[in-house]
Structures are given as C-alpha cells and as structure tokens.
Amino acid sequence: MDVLSDAIAAVRLGQPSSSRLFTRERDWCTRLAPYSGAGFHIVLRGSCRLLPDQGDPVTLGTGDAVLLPHGTGHLLADRATDTPATTRAIPFEQWRAAQPNETDSGAGGFEVLCGTYRLDRRGQHPLVAELPTVIHLPDRIGDHRELRAAIDLLALEADQRSPGSCIAVPSLLDLLLVYMIRAWMRENDAGLWSAALTDPVTATALRALHSAPAAPWTTDSLAAETGVSRATLTRRFAGLVGRPPMGYLTWWRLTRAAALLRDTTDPLPTIAEQVGYANPYAFSHAFKKQFGTSPGRYRNDREPSAVDR
C-alpha cells in the first residue's frame, strides 16, 4: 500500500456515515460537538458559515467541501446569521430531526451533505496528525476533478434509496476522504509530509517500507533501493519524516500490528510475523514500549471495528 492509504487504514474504524439535509429556515445555527473521529460537510445548494471552536470562520458556497480531520467542534450557520444568534445554536441531532425528509426542487433553500469517519487515534500516523483543523476545498472550475466527480456521485446516491446504495455510499465516502486529503496536500506543500511524499529519495524509501514492512530492511539495503548513500538517505529521510529510516520502520511495524490486533482475530505470533518479528517475545516487548501496554491487553481494550460486527 502507499503511505496515505496506510495512514488512513491504520486509524479507520468501521464504515463512515452521512446524512443529507435541506432547510428553508432563515437565521438557523446548529452546533456539532467535538468528535473523536473526523467530519465533513459538502454544500449542495446555497451557502453557510462554519465557525470552528479553534480558528477563523469559513464561508462555504455551493459545491464547497470541508473536512475537519481532528473532529473539531464547530457551528454551522446561515450565512446571514449574526454573532449573537450563534449563542442560541441548536444541537445538530435536534436540528436535523426538525428538517423535512424530502428536498425541495424549487429555488432557494440550503442543502448540505454531512458525514463522519470513525477513527482510532491510538495509531495515528503523523501524516494525519499534520493536517490542519479545517480543510476547505472551494468549488473552482478545473480543480480537483476526481474530488468533484466523487461529490457528484455521492449527491446522487446520498438518499440511499436506489438499489445498491447501501454499498455504494460507504465506498464513495472512503473515496471522498482520500480525495480531500490528497487535494489539500497538492495545494499545501509547507507541511513536512507533503514534502516527504514529493522528495524523490524519501518518497522512494517510504514506498519501499510500506510495500514490504516485514522485509529484513537495513539502512544499507534501503539506501541501495533509493540509489543514494546511507548518509544521504538518513539526512533526507530524518529531515522530512522526523526520525531515521529504521526508527520509522519500527514505529510503522508496531502501528500496523496495532491495527491488526484491532481489526482481526489473528493470533499474536501470526501478527508478529506479518510485521517482521520472528520472535513473539521480542514483538511483545517492542509493542509495550511503544504503546505502554501488552498486545493482548491492547486487543482486549480496542474500540469496536468491523471485526466485531
């Protein structure tokens, strides 16, 4: 797998969820509490303001997408809503229940697609941790065509009334998450991980480690894979990733093991072997050092995921 796919897979729990809302109210304001996962909104009609608990307000227009990768609490409000009205914000579930079940094909009104992704932050990849509080992706002609295609398909399927929609919608939501993060990374090269994935040496090394994490990598073999010296590899990699190649490999192996403990019923020796540990005792020792608990206890304390359903 590639780094972004691995980063998402390491933290994702179960299936995402979404709901489509329409209102003709004026001066509405709803509150979405902080969430342990990630949330998103796509404006299908009209405009609104998003006011995060931390950060500046964002104005959203038709076609705009916004991702809150860290589940930051926020308000959604009618664009014309004044500041005092935000103190009377209605909890989102209550506001949603008060809206009509059917959309209105007439002019005007506000329509939005909202959704959440369940995430296990214990195995959070630094690529995800580096994302900003709010990712706003305006609808601009020619920008992020794959994201626009996913949004259009999702808007068609979101009512989940067509045959197969119950399968199509979660798959489209997964695509949406990847496309939103990818779009942000393309537009923002200031982050270390955006730079790491575009640096030829570091990106090649990361692809190799993520493609075969259980392989008996050494700094020498990884340097040969990237076509540079040990010193060059270590300097470039550590400068962008924040740790040397073998340190990152150890961290990623154990992070991957944590996801396997959470999502599968595989025995510990099998998981240890899958992430490059021939000795289960060495694996358990390394795992406890990174996560502060044994693999068995970690599995028992895991959050519910697809394996539990």
Whole-number Cα distances in Å, 88 to 4, 60, 76: 39, 21, 12
Q: Are residues 31 and 156 in the same domain?
A: yes
Whether residues 17 and 155 share a domain: the answer is yes
Least reliable range by pLDDT among 102-111, 213-222, 241-250: 102-111
- Do 132 and 266 belong to one domain? no
In terms of residue numbers, what domain contains 115? Answer: 3-187
Model's pTM, two decimal places?
0.87
Provide the CA 207 distance to its chain's centre, in angstroms: 19
> Using an 8 Å Cβ cutoff, are 2 and 117 in contact?
no
Distance between CA atoms of residues 128 and 6, nearest Å: 11
In a domain, 57, yes or no: yes
Domain with 138 in it: what CATH number? 2.60.120.280
192 falls within a domain: no
Which residues in the chain belong to E strands, given as ranges? Answer: 12-23, 29-32, 38-45, 48-52, 58-60, 65-68, 74-78, 90-91, 110-119, 135-137
Q: Of 119, 154, 187, which residue sits at a domain end?
A: 187
Query: CATH no. for residue 249?
Result: 1.10.10.60
Specify whether 259 is located in the same domain as 161: no
Are 244 and 265 in the same domain? Answer: yes
Lowest mean pLDDT among 76-80, 177-181, 224-228, 285-289: 76-80
Q: What is the signed CA dihedral for 224, 229, 231, 237, rounded to 10 degrees?
A: -50
> Tell me: the pLDDT tens digits for 164-206?
888 888 999 999 999 999 999 888 876 789 899 999 999 999 9
Q: Are 237 and 205 in contact (CB under 8 A)?
A: yes
Q: Is the pLDDT of residue 160 over 80?
A: no
Same domain, 175 and 142: yes
How many domains, in total, are found in the chain?
2
List residues bridging with 59 in a β-sheet. 49
User: Which residues are CB-contacts of 43 (< 8 A; sequence separation ≥ 6)?
Assistant: 60, 61, 62, 63, 64, 65, 110, 111, 112
Q: Is the pLDDT of residue 120 over 90?
A: no
194 is a domain residue? no
Contacts of 118 (CB under 8 A, 6+ apart): 12, 13, 14, 16, 36, 37, 303
